[in-house]
Homo-oligomer: A and B are copies of this chain.
Amino acid sequence: MAFVGNLTMTNYKNKSNRRVTLADVANAAGVSMMTVSRVVNNKPGISEETHKRIMNLVKELGYRPNQIARSLATDRTKTIGLVVPDNTNPFFAQIAYGIEDEAYDRDYTIVLINTKEDPKRELRALDTLWQKDVDGLILCSSRLGKKELEEQIRNFSSVVLLNRDLDKNLDNTTTININDKLGAELAINHLLNDGRERIAHIRGPENSTSANRRMEGYQRALNEANISFNPELTISCFPDINGGRRAATILLQRNPEIDGIYAYNDLVAVGAVQICQEYGKHVPEDIAVVGVDDSPIATLIRPKLTTLHIDLKQTGKLAMQILLKRVEENASPENILLDPELYLRESA
């Protein structure tokens, strides 16, 4: 917690309109800066009496430590970099929320940067965070190439990679991934059990790892059901509603007899549902649609979306906990796989 000073104190500046510094307190108390520093940081070896006296002065003068100076001296910024493609996407918004929540509890702070799915932006984001000397990095859905990603990761002392994996473990990084293959199998098997025979897959961005894993799961599930894979039934798209709309349009024009769609995420699924309906198809009677993420909209649209659920706020908290364990205790690397659950609602 390390709460120092009175939050509602306003006379935090001395007469010359500067910030109150350790030196000011030390002068006022007639002691050295180190004594004040020790008191403020609750270090041992200070007499009861001076501790009290100095804490009173700290409050009276409105002293609060300058985190910048502290960072320079300690090489710790109490700051974590969070890089996401788009904070507006409920998926990342939920994760960010969990991360920030845990950070708050542990007295850390989050620097948020959007990459907009642009590798150049991502690179610059990482460079910026490196220059800011963040204590750790949480990188979500990186769109960087393998080699580039590894090079970047080496620049940070502790990293959590969310929604992306590595060929070989790096000893400063933990990966957290959703078990996309399992998820895909859950979805496809449900559709198959429901009697669907021509199941398409709108597979998100080409360069997305999670998209690739979902694709694998899709193929594997079909394979296990002895259904031959038809490339015409898959299409990539930008992972938002419009992407889903465009992809579904093409899909439906190419293959009007499709009776099931497994979408990259809920946004894409919503776009697909919209197009189906606009084409006069009933969901789920004519076409069943399964999403991924269980984002807020899943229960808002009608029919309610059947989708794969992960507790994202909790996942964010977990990511932060793991990162801080690494930052503060130098824990060893691990790779975490989160199993999604199929939430059956109305669309499939």
Closest 8 CB pairs of A and B: A67-B131, A112-B112, A88-B93, A10-B151, A88-B97, A67-B132, A68-B71, A7-B123
Q: Is A87 an interface residue (CB 8 A)?
A: yes
Kindly identify which residue among B93, B154, B300 contacts A10, using a CB–CB cutoff of 8 Å: B154
**A residues 63-113 with Cβ under 8 Å of B?**
64-69, 71-72, 77, 79, 86-88, 90, 93-94, 96-97, 100-101, 104, 109-113
Residues in B neighbouring A12, C-beta threshold 8 A: 155
Residues in B neighbouring A97, C-beta threshold 8 A: 86-88, 114
Residues in B neighbouring A88, C-beta threshold 8 A: 90, 93-94, 96-97
Kindly identify which residue among B68, B155, B301 contacts A133, using a CB–CB cutoff of 8 Å: B68
Closest chain-B Cβ to A101's Cβ sits at a distance in Å of 7
A64 in contact with B101 (CB, 8 Å)? no
Kindly identify which residue among B72, B131, B148, B302 contacts A65, using a CB–CB cutoff of 8 Å: B131
Q: Is A146 an interface residue (CB 8 A)?
A: no
Contact with B along A107-140 (1 / 0, CB 8 A): 0011111100000010110111011110000000
Residues in B neighbouring A128, C-beta threshold 8 A: 109
Closest B residue to A81 by CB, please name it. Answer: B109
Q: How many copies does the complex hold?
A: 2
B64 in contact with A68 (CB, 8 Å)? no
Closest B residue to A147 by CB, please name it. Answer: B8
- Tally of chain A residues near chain B (CB < 8 A): 54
Q: Is A270 an interface residue (CB 8 A)?
A: yes
Residues in B neighbouring A297, C-beta threshold 8 A: 296-297, 300
B301 in contact with A132 (CB, 8 Å)? no
B124 in contact with A114 (CB, 8 Å)? no
A148 in contact with B94 (CB, 8 Å)? no
Kindly identify which residue among B10, B64, B77 contacts A127, using a CB–CB cutoff of 8 Å: B64
What would 19 more interface pairs be, CB under 8 Å, given A68-B77, A300-B300, A302-B302?
Answer: A3-B127, A5-B127, A7-B127, A8-B148, A10-B151, A64-B130, A66-B131, A67-B131, A68-B68, A68-B72, A87-B87, A87-B97, A88-B94, A88-B97, A100-B112, A104-B113, A104-B114, A241-B296, A301-B301
Give the distance in Å from the alpha carbon of A296 to the alpha carbon of B300 in the complex: 11
Give the distance in Å from the alpha carbon of A301 to the alpha carbon of B123 in the complex: 37
Residues in B neighbouring A131, C-beta threshold 8 A: 64-67
Q: A133-B68, A151-B10 are in contact. Are A101 and B114 (CB under 8 A)?
A: yes
Query: What are 28 A-B contacts with C-beta separation under 8 Å?
Result: A3-B127, A7-B126, A8-B151, A10-B154, A64-B127, A66-B131, A67-B133, A69-B72, A72-B72, A79-B132, A87-B87, A87-B96, A88-B90, A88-B93, A88-B94, A88-B97, A93-B93, A96-B112, A100-B113, A100-B114, A109-B113, A109-B128, A109-B132, A110-B112, A111-B111, A270-B300, A297-B300, A301-B302
